[in-house]
C-alpha cells in the first residue's frame, strides 16, 4: 500500500505518534485563533484568484470614451466575471473577520492571563501578527483605486508625511513618491501580495511553533481533572482535525453569506477617483485612530526648533496609537512571575489588569463612536469628556465587582 | 600530535573560518548596499505652477469641466470647483462661490472679492482632502460654509476661511479675483501655502 511504501522510507509512524496525537484542550475560545488562521488561508486563495485579473496601475486608460485608472478598470472586469464580485467581497470580508478574530483572540489571552511567563514571546509575536494584518488591510484597501480608496490612502500618506524631519522621506519611500504617484499602486501592490503575506506566513509559523513547543494553556477546571503538567483534551487526529474542518467550512460559509448579502466596498458606487472627496471613514479597526485624530485640538502643536514641529496629525495618527500598541505589547513584562503559568488564571487575581482591560475596550468603542461624531451630531467637547470619563467609570465598576466577589468568596 | 597542539590547530581553524564567514557576510551585505544606493527618490519636486493675474477660471468637474466660468453662470449661493485655465493641477484646485458681498468681513481680504464672488484653495489644510461648498444649514452651522468630508473641518467663508470646527490647523488660502470679459479670473496667486505642510514646517 502507498502508506506502507511511504512509511518504510519516511517513518510516518513516528510522525503519527509524535504529532497527530498531540492533545488539544477544548474550549470555544480556542477557535478565535483558528478562525483568524482560516480567514488568512481564505485570503490567500481568494487573493490568488484576484491576481489573475487585477492590474496594479493607476495609469489612466481609455474605456468607452472615458479615462479611468487601469486598476479601477480591472476591478470592474473582476466584478463582471461570473463569481468575480463574490470572490472580491469574500476577500474583503475575510480581511474584516481575520482582524476581528485576532482582536477576540487577544482579548481571550489577556483576560485569562496567559500572556504571562512562559508565553511572553508568543504575545509579542502575536502583536507583530496583528500589526501585519492591519498593514495588509491598509495596503489592500488602496488597490481598487476608486474615489474612496484613493482618498483614504492619501490620508495615510499625509499622516506619514507630517512626521517631523524624516516624515517626507518615509512617505515618499513607502508610497513611491507623493501619493498617488505613478509608482504608488505598484509598490502598495508589492507590499500587499508579496511582502506582507510572506512576513505573515513566517510569523504565523513561528507563532505555531512556539505554541506547540510550550503546549496550550488550559481552562482552570482542567487542573482538578488531569494531573498537573498533563493536558486534558482531544488528540489532533481525528477529533481535533474534524473540529477544525468544521470551523474552516463554517468560516467559509459565513464569508460567502456575508459577501452575498452585504457588499463591501462597492467600487461602482464610489466611481473612479475625482477631484471631489467622498465621505471617507477608515475601516472599523482603524476608526479609533480616526477618533483620536478628531479629538485632538488643531492647536496642539509641539514646536521643535524653527523648522519643524509635532503636529496634531502625528500626535493622533502615530504617537498615541504607537504608545497604546507599545503598552499592549509590554503587558507581559508588567508582571513578575516565578512559576510558569499553564492554566487560565481567574480574573480576580489581576483586579487592576482586568479592570484596565475592560477600560481599554470601552475606550476603543468610545473612540470609534467619535468617528461618527459629525453624523451623530455630538459636540466634540462631549466626545472629549466621554472618551476620558467612560473608561474610568468602566475601570472602577469592574474593579468594584471583582473586589466584592472576592470578599464574598472569603466570607463563605 | 600533542593534545595542546591539536587544540591550537582547531582554535586557529575556527578563527579562520569565523573570519572568512564574517568577510563573506560583509561582502554580501556590501553588494546589497550598492543597488539600494541607486534607488533614487522619485523626482516629485515639481513646483506648483503659480497663478498669475488674468488666469481665467474654468470648471474643474462636472459636464462643463474645462469651460470658462461666466459671471452669469453662478447665481447667488452657487459654488463650484475650479482651476486656473492651463494650470490644471491638483494643488491649484479652487473652490469658487457666490455670496452676498455685504456678508464678508475681516480677516477675509475684501479686495480679493468681486461682485460677491470669492475663492479659496479647495485643498483642506489638514490632510489635503477637497473641501465642499455648503450654502445651506448643516449640523449646527446654519450659514454658508466650506466643509471637509474627511474629518469634518468647517471653514467660515465670511471670515477668511477661519476654522470653526474640526482638526484643520490653518484657514484656507484665499485667491484674489477679478472679472475680465464677463469671465471670472484670478487677480494673482493664493495668499498662503496650499494644503498640509510636511513635517510640521
Ligand atoms: C493577509 C491578509 C490580507 C488582507 C487583510 C487583505 C485585504 C484586502 C483588502 C481589504 C482588499 C480590498 C478589496 C476590495 O475592496 O476590492 C484587498 C485587495 C486585494 N488583495 Fe488582499 N488581503 C490579504 C491578503 C492577500 C493575499 C495573500 C493576496 C494575494 C496572494 C491578496 C491579493 C489582493 C488583490 C489582487 C487585491 C486587489 C483586488 C481587489 O481590490 O478586489 N491579498 N485585500
Ligand atoms: S483632511 Fe480635511 S479635515 Fe482632515
- Is A158–B196 a contact, with Cβ atoms under 8 angstroms apart? yes
pLDDT over 60 (residue B201): no
Residue-by-residue DSSP string for A369-409? HHHTHHHHT--HHHHHHHHHHHHHHHHHHHHHHHHHHHHHH
Task: Pick from A1-5, B1-5, B19-23 the range whose average pLDDT is largest.
Answer: B19-23
Domain boundaries, chain B: 1-37, 57-186
Query: Does ligand 1 come within 6 angstroms of the Cβ of A32?
Result: no
Mean pLDDT throughout A340-366?
Answer: 92
Instruction: Write b or e for each residue in A103-140: b if 16 or more Cβ atoms lie within 10 A of its Cβ, otherwise e.
Output: bbbbebbbbbbbbbebbbebbbbbbbbbebbbbbbbbb
3-state secondary structure of A285: helix
pTM given for the model = 0.88
Query: Does ligand 2 come within 6 angstroms of the Cβ of B122?
Result: no
Mutation pick for ligand 2 pocket among B134, B168, B169 (CB with most ligand atoms within 8 Å) = B168
pLDDT tens digits, one per residue of A263-307 = 888 888 888 888 888 888 888 999 999 999 888 877 788 887 777
Pick the CATH number of B57-186 from 3.90.550.60, 3.40.50.720, 2.60.120.620, 2.102.10.10: 2.102.10.10
A positions 316-345 inside 8 Å of B (CB): 316
Which pLDDT band, with edges at 50, 70 and 90, does A250 fall under?
A: very high
Query: Does ligand 2 come within 6 angstroms of the Cβ of B168?
Result: yes
Beta bridge partners of B70: B183
**A148 → chain B, closest CA residue:** B150
Asked if the C-beta of A170 comes within 8 angstroms of chain B's C-beta atoms, the answer is: no
CA-to-CA distance for A182 and A233, rounded, in angstroms? 55
The DSSP symbol for A218 reads: B
Nearest chain A Cα distance for residue B133, angstroms: 11
The confidence score (pLDDT) of residue A134 equals: 96
Q: What is the mean pLDDT of chain A?
A: 91
Give the number of whichever ligand sits closest to the CA of residue B165.
Answer: 2
The confidence score (pLDDT) of residue B62 equals: 82
The confidence score (pLDDT) of residue A233 equals: 87
Asked if the C-beta of A378 comes within 8 angstroms of chain B's C-beta atoms, the answer is: no
A positions 220-279 inside 8 Å of B (CB): 274-279
Is the model more confident about A104 or about A180?
A104
Is the model more confident about B2 or about A6?
A6
The confidence score (pLDDT) of residue B45 equals: 55
Which residue, among A179, A298, A312, would best test binding to B if mutated, counting the most B CBs under 10 Å from its CB? A298
CA-to-CA distance for A370 and A366, rounded, in angstroms? 6
pLDDT tens digits, one per residue of A185-215 = 999 999 999 999 999 999 999 999 999 999 8
Mean pLDDT throughout A225-245?
Answer: 87
Q: Write phi, then psi, for A332 (nearest 5 degrees).
A: -60, -25
Asked if the C-beta of A384 comes within 8 angstroms of chain B's C-beta atoms, the answer is: no
pLDDT tens digits, one per residue of A133-142 = 999 999 999 9
Specify whether the CB–CB gap between A97 and A195 falls below 8 A.
no
Nearest CA to ligand 1 atom 31: A47
pLDDT over 80 (residue A181): yes
Least confident segment among A193-197, A277-281, B87-91, B136-140: B136-140
The confidence score (pLDDT) of residue A223 equals: 81
- Using a CB-CB cut-off of 8 Å, the residues of chain A touching B169 are 298-299, 301, 311-312
CA-to-CA distance for A263 and A229, rounded, in angstroms? 48
Instruction: Write b or e for each residue in B134-151: b if 16 or more Cβ atoms lie within 10 A of its Cβ, otherwise e.
Output: bbeebbeeeebbbbbbbb
Q: What percent of chain B has a predicted confidence (pLDDT) above 90?
A: 21
Nearest CA to ligand 1 atom 41: A88
Asked if the C-beta of A169 comes within 8 angstroms of chain B's C-beta atoms, the answer is: yes
Give the number of whichever ligand sits closest to the CA of residue A296.
Answer: 2
Name the grid cell of A133: 494584518
Give the number of whichever ligand sits closest to the CA of residue B128.
Answer: 2
- Using a CB-CB cut-off of 8 Å, the residues of chain B touching A171 are 198
Angle between helices A287-295 and A380-411 (to 10 degrees): 120
Least confident segment among A27-41, A116-130, B33-47: B33-47
Q: How far does residue B149's CA lie from ligand 2's centre (Å)? A: 7
The confidence score (pLDDT) of residue B104 equals: 87
3-state secondary structure of B138: strand
- Is A161–B129 a contact, with Cβ atoms under 8 angstroms apart? no
Where do the H-state alpha helices sit in A18-83? 31-51, 70-80
pLDDT over 60 (residue B44): no
Is the model more confident about B167 or about A149?
A149
The confidence score (pLDDT) of residue B78 equals: 87
Query: Does ligand 2 come within 6 angstroms of the Cβ of B167?
Result: yes
Residues A56, A62, A67, A73, Cα dihedral to 10°: -40
The confidence score (pLDDT) of residue B1 equals: 56
- Is A311–B126 a contact, with Cβ atoms under 8 angstroms apart? no
**CA distances to A71, B123, B129 from A64, in Å:** 16, 31, 29
| End-to-end Cα spacing for chain B | 73
| Residue in A34, A48, A92, A32 with CA at minimum distance from that of residue A260 | A92
pLDDT tens digits, one per residue of A77-104 = 999 998 999 999 999 999 999 999 999 9
The closest-lying atom of ligand 1 relative to the alpha carbon of residue A265 is 15
- Is B199–A159 a contact, with Cβ atoms under 8 angstroms apart? no
Q: How far does residue A90's CA lie from ligand 1's centre (Å)? A: 10
Counted across chains A and B, CB pairs separated by less than 8 A come out at 110
Amino acid at each position: 500500500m502507498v502508506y506502507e511504501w511511504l512509511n518504510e522510507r519516511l517513518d510516518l509512524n513516528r510522525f503519527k505518534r509524535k504529532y497527530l496525537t498531540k492533545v488539544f484542550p477544548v474550549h470555544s475560545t480556542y477557535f478565535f485563533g483558528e478562525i483568524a488562521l482560516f480567514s488568512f488561508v481564505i485570503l490567500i486563495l481568494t487573493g490568488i484568484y484576484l491576481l489573475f485579473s487585477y492590474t496594479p496601475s493607476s495609469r489612466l486608460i481609455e474605456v468607452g470614451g472615458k479615462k479611468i485608472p487601469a486598476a479601477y478598470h480591472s476591478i470592474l472586469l473582476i466584478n463582471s466575471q461570473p463569481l468575480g464580485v463574490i470572490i472580491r467581497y469574500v476577500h474583503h470580508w475575510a480581511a474584516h473577520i481575520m482582524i476581528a478574530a485576532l482582536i477576540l483572540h487577544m482579548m481571550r489571552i489577556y483576560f485569562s492571563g496567559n500572556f504571562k511567563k512562559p508565553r511572553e514571546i508568543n504575545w509579542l509575536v502575536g502583536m507583530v501578527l496583528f500589526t501585519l494584518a492591519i498593514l495588509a488591510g491598509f495596503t489592500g484597501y488602496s488597490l481598487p483605486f476608486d474615489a474612496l480608496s484613493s482618498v483614504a490612502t492619501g490620508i495615510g500618506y499625509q499622516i506619514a508625511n507630517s512626521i517631523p524631519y524624516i516624515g517626507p522621506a518615509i512617505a515618499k519611500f513607502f508610497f513611491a513618491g507623493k501619493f498617488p504617484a505613478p509608482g504608488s499602486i505598484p509598490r502598495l501592490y508589492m507590499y500587499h501580495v508579496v511582502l506582507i503575506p510572506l512576513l505573515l506566513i513566517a510569523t504565523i509559523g513561528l507563532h505555531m511553533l512556539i505554541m506547540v513547543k510550550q503546549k496550550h494553556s488550559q481552562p482552570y477546571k482542567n487542573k482538578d481533572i488531569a494531573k498537573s503538567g498533563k493536558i486534558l483534551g482531544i488528540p489532533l487526529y481525528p477529533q481535533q482535525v474534524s473540529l477544525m474542518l468544521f470551523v474552516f467550512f463554517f468560516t467559509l460559509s459565513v464569508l460567502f453569506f456575508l459577501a452575498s448579502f452585504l457588499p463591501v466596498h462597492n467600487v461602482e458606487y464610489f466611481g473612479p477617483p475625482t477631484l471631489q472627496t467622498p465621505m471617507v471613514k477608515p475601516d472599523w479597526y482603524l476608526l479609533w485612530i480616526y477618533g483620536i485624530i478628531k479629538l485632538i485640538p488643531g492647536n496642539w502643536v509641539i514646536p521643535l526648533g524653527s523648522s519643524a514641529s509635532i503636529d496634531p496629525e502625528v500626535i493622533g495618527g502615530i504617537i498615541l496609537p504607537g504608545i497604546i500598541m507599545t503598552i499592549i505589547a509590554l503587558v507581559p513584562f508588567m508582571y513578575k512571575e516565578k512559576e510558569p503559568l499553564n492554566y487560565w488564571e481567574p480574573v480576580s487575581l489581576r483586579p487592576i489588569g482586568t479592570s484596565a482591560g475592560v477600560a481599554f475596550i470601552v475606550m476603543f468603542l468610545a473612540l470609534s463612536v467619535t468617528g461618527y461624531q459629525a453624523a451623530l451630531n455630538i459636540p466634540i467637547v462631549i466626545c472629549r469628556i466621554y472618551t476620558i470619563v467612560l473608561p474610568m467609570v468602566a475601570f472602577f465598576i469592574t474593579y468594584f465587582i471583582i473586589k466584592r466577589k472576592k470578599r464574598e468568596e472569603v466570607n463563605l | 600530535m600533542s593534545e595542546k597542539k591539536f587544540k591550537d590547530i582547531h582554535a586557529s581553524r575556527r578563527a579562520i573560518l569565523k573570519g572568512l564567514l564574517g568577510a563573506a557576510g560583509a561582502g554580501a551585505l556590501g553588494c546589497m548596499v550598492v543597488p539600494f544606493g541607486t534607488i533614487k527618490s522619485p523626482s516629485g519636486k515639481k513646483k506648483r505652477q503659480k497663478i498669475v493675474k488674468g488666469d481665467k477660471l474654468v470648471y474643474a468637474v462636472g459636464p462643463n469641466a474645462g469651460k470658462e466660468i461666466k459671471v452669469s453662470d453662478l447665481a447667488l449661493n452657487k459654488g463650484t470647483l475650479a482651476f486656473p485655465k492651463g494650470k490644471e493641477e491638483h494643488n491649484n484646485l479652487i473652490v469658487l462661490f457666490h455670496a452676498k458681498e455685504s456678508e464678508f468681513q475681516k480677516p477675509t481680504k475684501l479686495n480679493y472679492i468681486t461682485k460677491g464672488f470669492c475663492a479659496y484653495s479647495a485643498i483642506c489644510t489638514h490632510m489635503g482632502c477637497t473641501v465642499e461648498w455648503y450654502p445651506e444649514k448643516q449640523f449646527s452651522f446654519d450659514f454658508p460654509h466650506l466643509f471637509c468630508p474627511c474629518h469634518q473641518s468647517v471653514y467660515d467663508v465670511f471670515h477668511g476661511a477661519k476654522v470653526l470646527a474640526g482638526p484643520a490647523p490653518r484657514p484656507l488660502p484665499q485667491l484674489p479675483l477679478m472679472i475680465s470679459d464677463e469671465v471670472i479670473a484670478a487677480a494673482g496667486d493664493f495668499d498662503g501655502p496650499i494644503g498640509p505642510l510636511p513635517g510640521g514646517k
